[in-house]
Amino acid sequence: MIIMADFGGTRIKLGVVENGIVRAHKAIDSYSGLPFSKWIHLLKDDLRGLCSMVGVRLFEVEAMVWALPLLIDLEHRHATCSFGKFEDTMQSNFCEEVEKVIGISLLLENDARAALIGEWQAGSARGRDNVVMVTLGTGIGTGVIFDGKPMRGRSGMAGNLGGLSITHMGSEGFNGRPPGCIESHVATWALPKRARRMEGFKNSSLSSEPDIDYLAVFTHAKQGDALACILRDNAFQAWGALALNMIQAYDPECVIFGGGVMASENEILPAIKDFVSDHAVQSGGPVELVAAELGDHAALIGGEWIWKTRVKRAPLHKHPKIKIIESQGNKFLINEEGDAKPINS
């Protein structure tokens, strides 16, 4: 049994996972932008409450896996690029510091890769060895299963194509991203600024929206708003180009699309299928484009596989307040709360 935490920009999804089943889950507000010292004890309280939902105590759980919107060095357990979020994870001893507070072992993984692993193991890509996934949420995440293994590379960047440049013509980067970056063009976080800068925005029905997201874009496009139709079609073409590039690069059996934006699956998936059908080289036969099956549970389920297949190394950090005592020939593990757990000899 493990605890999985999927860290997003607005929400953190928590789950207790055992044998591929999410036994309990909850969502809390994200701590993005806050220093580690401000939120780790709050998170610990939430984890205790989560464990109580399945009748266990926090120290009885085997481990934690955290999925984060960062580039992660899985073996060395820290982020290699933080993109300005959860920057404490860049420290080489970050996991050890967490373990001192929480009291159980921790691994880190990229969030899009964790979701892909969940879909590969228990969702829409079961039984396949070559799979790619695009996660359309606040940002754009991607991941790759290549010949039956998650692709990571030397720094954790391999297969992460949210920063992919889809054009070098007449475009600009946002927040230090490269010119033509797909996130800068069509990610949800970039949508309001891009919409407001377009000609005709003041006369568009979108201008009445307090929060411009893709649900609003699709709704106004259905009503015939010209600007919304342009934004919708630009997104379809960019997402299609991303799928096309991943097909060309990794030769997958299928492409999975997931994330919150896929609440509009019935509009998005047919458009991308048409784009890929028109333009992709499918030398190994038709590449299937499918929607994710597991929703918010994808990364939670993926985390258990990540823990079970982790690189074996020296024992991870132990909580300094946990100690072992012996009484009448029996050994007990005493946690920080004074609870005793028998140790099997």
Q: Does residue 49 lie within any of the structural domains?
A: yes
**What is the predicted pLDDT for the residue at 345?**
44
**Same-domain status, 138 and 282:** yes
Sole residue written with tokens 């120290």: 59
Rounded Cα distance between 159 and 162, Å, is 9
Q: Quick one: which of 28, 112, 13 has its CA closest to 70? A: 112
Q: Does residue 213 lie within any of the structural domains?
A: yes
What are the beta bridge partners of residue 248? none
**What is the predicted pLDDT for the residue at 314?**
42
Q: Does residue 39 lie within any of the structural domains?
A: yes
**Same-domain status, 157 and 275:** yes
**Same-domain status, 14 and 37:** yes
**What is the predicted pLDDT for the residue at 218?**
98
**Same-domain status, 181 and 268:** yes
Q: Does residue 345 lie within any of the structural domains?
A: no
**Same-domain status, 217 and 85:** no
DSSP assignment letter at 75? T
What are 147-183's pLDDT values in tens digits? 999 999 999 999 999 888 887 655 555 555 667 889 9
Q: Does residue 287 lie within any of the structural domains?
A: yes
Rounded Cα distance between 40 and 43, Å, is 5
**Same-domain status, 165 and 261:** yes
Rounded Cα distance between 235 and 284, Å, is 27
Q: Does residue 332 lie within any of the structural domains?
A: no
According to the 3-state scheme, what is the secondary structure of 106-141? EEEEEHHHHHHHHHHHHCCCCCCCCEEEEEECCCEE
**What is the predicted pLDDT for the residue at 312?**
57
**What is the predicted pLDDT for the residue at 174?**
56
Domain, as residue range, for 93: 2-113+299-320
Q: Does residue 325 lie within any of the structural domains?
A: no
pLDDT tens track, the chain, 345 positions: 999 999 987 899 999 999 999 999 999 998 877 888 889 999 999 999 999 999 999 999 999 999 999 999 988 899 999 887 888 899 999 999 999 999 999 999 999 999 999 999 999 999 999 999 999 998 999 999 999 999 999 999 999 998 888 876 555 555 556 678 899 899 999 999 999 999 999 999 999 999 999 999 999 999 999 999 999 999 999 999 999 999 999 999 999 999 999 999 999 999 999 999 999 888 889 999 999 999 999 999 999 999 999 865 444 544 445 556 666 667 666 665 556 667 654
**What is the predicted pLDDT for the residue at 328?**
66
Burial of 205 (0-12, 13-18, 19+ CB in 10 A): middle
**Same-domain status, 141 and 98:** no
**Same-domain status, 286 and 305:** no
**Same-domain status, 286 and 310:** no
Question: Do 1 and 61 touch, CB atoms closer than 8 A?
Answer: yes
261: CATH: 3.30.420.40
Indicate the number of domains in the chain: 2
| Coil, helix or strand at residue 83 | coil
For 67-80, give one letter per residue: b (16+ CB within 10 A) or e.
Answer: bbbbbbbbeebbbb
Q: Does residue 338 lie within any of the structural domains?
A: no
From 272, 292, 312, give the residue that closes a domain: 292
**Same-domain status, 108 and 147:** no
**pTM, to two decimals:** 0.86
Structure token pair of residue 307? 């823990």
**Same-domain status, 240 and 263:** yes
Q: What is the largest CA-CA distance in the chain?
A: 81
Q: Quick one: which of 184, 189, 237 has its CA closest to 214? A: 189
**Same-domain status, 98 and 19:** yes
